[in-house]
């Protein structure tokens, strides 16, 4: 049993450019099913993953998939998300993040890394 375990997933790639955001979301679903708490840290262009103004024509909405993980995270095991404030501000998406995304900074990431059993960065 993996109860009490925690993983931090760090993303730096924006949605729709490659499979990285989708892979992290699938990894988060699998971790939660195994009872692992999931932390998402969206950095650089990945802060667009949580942007609520997406309307892709040929792909599923990354924001919708991401939001589903966060909504399921209200129960144990948890799923939390932080988007870098400097990154969201420079991209104009600070106020349009999906419900459940907290605006934070690299100090938050450092704390999560220290608390986590594993940290994975896809970039």
Q: Mean pLDDT, 10 residues at a time, over the chain (123 residues)? A: 83 91 92 92 96 87 91 81 97 95 96 96 85
**Domain tally, the chain:** 1
How far is it, in rounded angstroms, from Cα 98 to Cα 113? 23
List the CATH number of the domain containing 67: 3.40.1260.10
Task: Answer whether residue 1 is part of any domain.
Answer: no
pLDDT at site 55: 87
Structure tokens at 10: 């760090």
Domain of residue 46 covers 6-122
Per-residue pLDDT at 72: 80
The answer to whether position 73 is within a domain reads yes
Residue 52 placed within a domain: yes
At 3 the pLDDT is 66
Q: Answer for the pair 42, 49: CB distance below 8 angstroms, yes or no.
A: yes
């Amino acid at each position: 049993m993996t109860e009490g375990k925690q993983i931090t997933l760090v993303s730096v790639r924006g949605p729709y450019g490659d499979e990285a955001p989708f892979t992290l979301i699938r990894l988060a679903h699998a971790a939660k099913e195994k009872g692992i708490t999931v932390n998402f840290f969206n950095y650089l262009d990945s802060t667009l993953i949580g942007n609520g103004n997406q309307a892709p024509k040929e792909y599923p909405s990354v924001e919708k998939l991401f939001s589903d993980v966060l909504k399921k995270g209200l129960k144990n095991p948890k799923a939390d998300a932080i988007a870098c404030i400097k990154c969201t501000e420079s991209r104009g998406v600070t106020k349009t993040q999906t419900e459940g995304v907290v605006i934070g900074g690299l100090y938050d990431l450092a704390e999560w890394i220290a608390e986590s059993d594993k940290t994975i960065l896809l970039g």
